[in-house]
A and B are shown apart, each in its own frame.
Chain A
Amino acid sequence: MRDVVRLVWFDLKQELRPPVWIVMEWVTFGIQLFVYGAIISQLVSGISNYQQFYAAGFVVMMTFEVGSHSGRHFVEHAHDGLLPYLLSLPISRSKLFLAITLQGGAELALMITVPLIITLSLIGNLTAISVVAAIVTLFCLGFGIAGFMLGLSFIAFKSSDVYSAVTIVMSTVVIRFSTVLYPFIFLPPSYASVAIFSPLTYGADLFRLLLGFDPSMLLSPTVAVAVIAALMATTLGLGMFLLQRLVEGVKSA
């Protein structure tokens, strides 16, 4: 396991160099929450405190972005030639995949720590168990999205431009057609019929439920747990399969 930790730490250090971008993400969160969120909250009448709802949604959006970044990170590794180097290191493929996944998890933890603390203090009135459960939900969602994006990144071995274009459109569609920014009960039927297939809908609703939001606005937590668990299991399996596939076929960059 020492090799896995070493690999995660080394790759993470590279991501944090320079660390200014992670701080900028926190600043963006603060501005969005305390300027946009605060003002829009006064205009929204259907929810008692939209700023809190928006804060939780923004943390889920950040989770999606970090998960999505893991896929891009993988593509970059393939294109800058680092992946063959990683594949030649004297560790097993499963440990390598674990390291890639944990690196994504560690990046997620770093990215959302400050926004999460701000969100929790804004909401207040929380129990330790619900906070831990909320964090676990975000991690599962992040891993699931990272696994999905790793799968999607496979198409990028022919073109990283196609990958970037697809992920930009995807993130716009997946976030807007979900309950990240608005409760399910307020969605028009046509939007709701799409949102019900978005994993972000379940991630956001489960996260909010654990933070103590009104359950009447949210989808069934049992279904949400099942969807998140299934997403994580299938996409991680898919990622592992693709890594093997990569070893078998894709030409070195």
Chain B
Amino acid sequence: MIAVETQKLVKRYGKTFALKGLDFSVEEKEIMVLLGPNGSGKTTLLLILATVLKPTSGMAKVMGLEVTKQPTQVRRVLGISFQDARGFWRHKPAEILRFHAAMCGVRKTESATLIEETLKMLELWDARNKLFMHLSGGQAKRLEVAKLLIQRPKFAIFDEPSSQVDLRGKRAIWEQILRLREEGSTILVATNEVREAEYLADRVTILDLGERVTCDTVHNLKDKITGGDIVELELEQPQEDAEIPQDLSEIPGTVKLMQTGKGMYKAYVSMAEAWVPKMTSLCYEKKIRVSSVRVTEPSLDDVFLHFTGKKLESQANA
């Protein structure tokens, strides 16, 4: 069942188009990751779905509710963790979470335990009595994420959930997002971090310049890259067999083969999981022992490069 859907969604700021007729959907109880560099329209899409911004034209639905026609009902089924931590500067984390829980209808009896658990889980317990303005960037970001973990909405939106957070904190946030999905939430994550996308995504939508470039599972996206998998081989050949490079090149799915040393080859293949068994059969027939096989998958950065002609991470860090 479709939980979120947009059709021909356009958002314009003056003469600049942030979204150019976006068609997009998220299945119920899946984690959809929006991957794209800064300025690709990710945050604009999230803010439209959260009813913070109105679209210039087109349609957007959340859980069957139109964001422009039933905004209050939409806000009741979703929660959003913003890219920049949004806080009441002179309140403390525990107070902010209590307020958020109350506004979102979490029962008081439940919220106290939930807040304590979440603060401890995200390593904010020691900072619970600090004012928001005295929190570090990483702590403020974790507090922003904590709001959603307490709210546990049907549809949860995370905008760059682990930016500014250290590696341990990132892992803790990702685990909680996965847990939220297991409990039945539909999740939309916007990020420009490849590792985050690979860790979380059931499916990935690549956005660039306000348009959807492609959408699929991480596995399928990687498979779509011709020659994206790299297989490094070491063969034990008593004597050099001139036919081997030719035979390896003729295995279906081989895009390019390079000999890197004596009995050592580097093959660029489309699907390593299909190519490797064929290669081992070939070697078995030729009575050649395979002493090592190393498969390197393409990253989502390679996928982004393949579909847009641009490097994602260099843009994200620019």
Complex Cα–Cα for A10 and B96 (A): 9
Q: Is B308 an interface residue when CB atoms closer than 8 A count as contact?
A: no
Query: In the complex the two chains form, is B86's CB within 8 Å of A14's CB?
Result: no
Query: In the complex the two chains form, is A6's CB within 8 Å of B102's CB?
Result: yes
Query: B48-56, B117-125, B191-199: which lies at the A interface?
Result: B48-56
Complex Cα–Cα for A91 and B104 (A): 9
In the A-B complex, list the 4 residue pairs whose CB atoms are closest, starting with the nearest: A85-B86, A17-B90, A90-B75, A248-B54
Q: Is B166 an interface residue when CB atoms closer than 8 A count as contact?
A: no
Kindly provide the distance from the CB of A90 to the nearest chain B CB, expressed in whole angstroms: 4
Query: In the complex the two chains form, is B86's CB within 8 Å of A81's CB?
Result: yes
Query: What are 11 A-B interface contacts by the 8 Å CB criterion?
Result: A6-B99, A82-B88, A87-B52, A88-B80, A89-B75, A90-B72, A90-B103, A92-B72, A249-B53, A252-B53, A253-B84
CB-CB under 8 A from B80, the residues of chain A are 88
Kindly provide the distance from the CB of A157 to the nearest chain B CB, expressed in whole angstroms: 12
CB-CB under 8 A from A161, the residues of chain B are none
CB-CB under 8 A from B89, the residues of chain A are 14, 80
Question: Which residue on chain B has the smallest CB distance to residue A80?
Answer: B89
Which residues 87-136 in A have Cβ within 8 Å of B in the complex?
87-93
Main secondary structure of the interface of B (DSSP, over half): loop
Question: Which residue on chain A has the smallest CB distance to residue B75?
Answer: A90
Q: A10-B99, A14-B91 are in contact. Are A88 and B72 (CB under 8 A)?
A: no
Q: Is B179 an interface residue when CB atoms closer than 8 A count as contact?
A: no
Query: In the complex the two chains form, is B82's CB within 8 Å of A85's CB?
Result: yes
CB-CB under 8 A from B72, the residues of chain A are 90-93
Query: In the complex the two chains form, is B52's CB within 8 Å of A247's CB?
Result: yes
Query: In the complex the two chains form, is A248's CB within 8 Å of B87's CB?
Result: no
Query: In the complex the two chains form, is A84's CB within 8 Å of B102's CB?
Result: no
Query: In the complex the two chains form, is A10's CB within 8 Å of B86's CB?
Result: no
CB-CB under 8 A from A92, the residues of chain B are 72
Q: A6-B103, A7-B103 are in contact. Are A247 and B84 (CB under 8 A)?
A: no
Which residues 76-96 in B have Cβ within 8 Å of A in the complex?
76, 79-80, 82, 84-91
Q: Known contacts A14-B91, A90-B104, A91-B75; can you find 5 more A-B pairs with CB under 8 A? A: A10-B99, A81-B84, A87-B51, A87-B52, A252-B43
Which residues 123-148 in B have Cβ within 8 Å of A in the complex?
none
Q: A14-B90, A82-B86 are in contact. Are A88 and B50 (CB under 8 A)?
A: yes
Complex Cα–Cα for A92 and B71 (A): 8
Kindly provide the distance from the CB of B281 to the nearest chain A CB, expressed in whole angstroms: 56
Kindly provide the distance from the CB of B104 to the nearest chain A CB, expressed in whole angstroms: 6
Complex Cα–Cα for A43 and B99 (A): 54
CB-CB under 8 A from B104, the residues of chain A are 89-90
